[in-house]
């Protein structure tokens, strides 16, 4: 099979690409290298994939590029490209979120409607729930985004539903919960925490540390995403993808302190706009329809991310800038 992966140079997209290539799939990865973080990090994410003959990389802007040929020659579309991040989605950057999360998704769905029988897997986010009224949160809870980012990801879900209902596109939306692991974006909490902890620098926590998240290791996210591409009779559906346990930020920092064998220096600040108190995924539907059960416990996943952070510190400075 040949697949199209948007956001192929990103955190999750590069892991998904390598997983599929390893099983003999052909992959076309696209990315526009937007400015949410540096091009060198994204190019490093692609290094292993570039070694495979079955991989092709196409730099393209989904909001305005020619997409029909890319969709036509693919059996499955994995739409992971997005403008990420809750805290940066306010103010003047909101235009980028509308462009890259809403307009780009609509543009890709316009191409996909010509081949509606092809599965279209959309990477959504737990941010669409906001401060959810029920924990663990099932998919039928009314979404209440608490940030501009969450609103744009929900808009993408609505577009998928529209193109499924009107055009028959085989859309499936996956609501990822707090994904972590090697290659996590430099602006995300665990990347910052690991780097600060290893360097003996102060870590800033926004909130009192008792807030909880359903942290999900990236390999588990890849397994769920792959399952969504081939599971029968799920067109038009939405699924939670969570790690299976609520962990407080304080608990995560205690474990990090053990892993780096260095006492952490932590300061606490007021929560920032868009931050929610708790997240927890009810994955009953995902288990029944996709056969998804998370396999990587939090302790093991965080240890892997710490080792990845250590490995980057050994690289020459020019390669990490």
**Greatest pairwise CA separation for the chain in angstroms:** 57
Rounded CA-CA distance 81/157 in Å is 14
Rounded CA-CA distance 61/71 in Å is 14
Rounded CA-CA distance 149/155 in Å is 10
Rounded CA-CA distance 180/194 in Å is 12
**What is the phi-psi region of residue 126: left when phi exceeds 0, alpha when psi lies from -120 to 50, beta otherwise?**
alpha
Residue of 37, 122, 129, 149 with catalytic role:
149
149 carries an active-site annotation: yes
β-strand 76-79 against 119-125: which pairing, if any? parallel
Rounded CA-CA distance 208/202 in Å is 16
Q: Which residues are catalytic?
A: 149
């Amino acid at each position: 099979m040949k697949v199209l992966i948007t956001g192929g140079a990103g955190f999750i997209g590069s892991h998904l690409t390598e997983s599929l290539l390893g099983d003999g799939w052909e992959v076309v990865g696209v990315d526009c290298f937007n400015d949410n973080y540096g091009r060198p990090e994204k190019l490093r994410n692609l290094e292993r994939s570039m070694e495979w003959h079955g991989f092709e990389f196409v730099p393209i802007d989904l909001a305005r590029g020619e997409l029909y040929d890319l969709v036509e020659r693919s059996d499955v579309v994995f739409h992971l490209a997005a403008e990420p991040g809750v805290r940066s989605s306010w103010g003047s950057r909101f235009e980028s979120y509308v462009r890259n999360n809403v307009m780009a998704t609509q543009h890709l769905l316009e191409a996909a409607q010509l081949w509606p029988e092809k599965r279209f897997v959309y990477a959504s986010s737990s941010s669409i729930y906001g401060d959810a009224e029920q924990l663990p949160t099932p998919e039928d809870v009314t979404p209440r985004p608490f940030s501009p980012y969450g609103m744009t990801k929900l808009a993408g879900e609505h577009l998928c539903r529209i193109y499924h209902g009107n055009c028959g596109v085989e859309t499936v939306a996956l609501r990822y919960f707090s994904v972590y692991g090697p290659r996590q974006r430099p602006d995300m909490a665990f990347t910052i925490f690991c780097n600060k902890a290893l360097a003996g620098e102060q870590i800033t926590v926004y909130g009192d540390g008792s807030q909880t998240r359903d942290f999900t290791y990236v390999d588990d996210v890849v397994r769920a995403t792959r399952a969504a591409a081939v599971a029968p009779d799920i067109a038009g559906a939405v699924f939670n993808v969570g790690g299976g346990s609520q962990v407080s930020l304080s608990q995560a920092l205690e474990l990090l302190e053990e892993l780096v064998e260095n006492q952490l220096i932590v300061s606490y600040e007021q929560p920032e706009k868009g931050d929610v108190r708790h997240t927890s995924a009810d994955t009953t539907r995902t288990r029944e329809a996709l056969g998804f059960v998370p396999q990587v416990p939090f302790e093991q996943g965080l240890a892997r991310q710490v080792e990845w952070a250590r490995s980057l510190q050994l690289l020459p400075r020019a390669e990490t800038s």
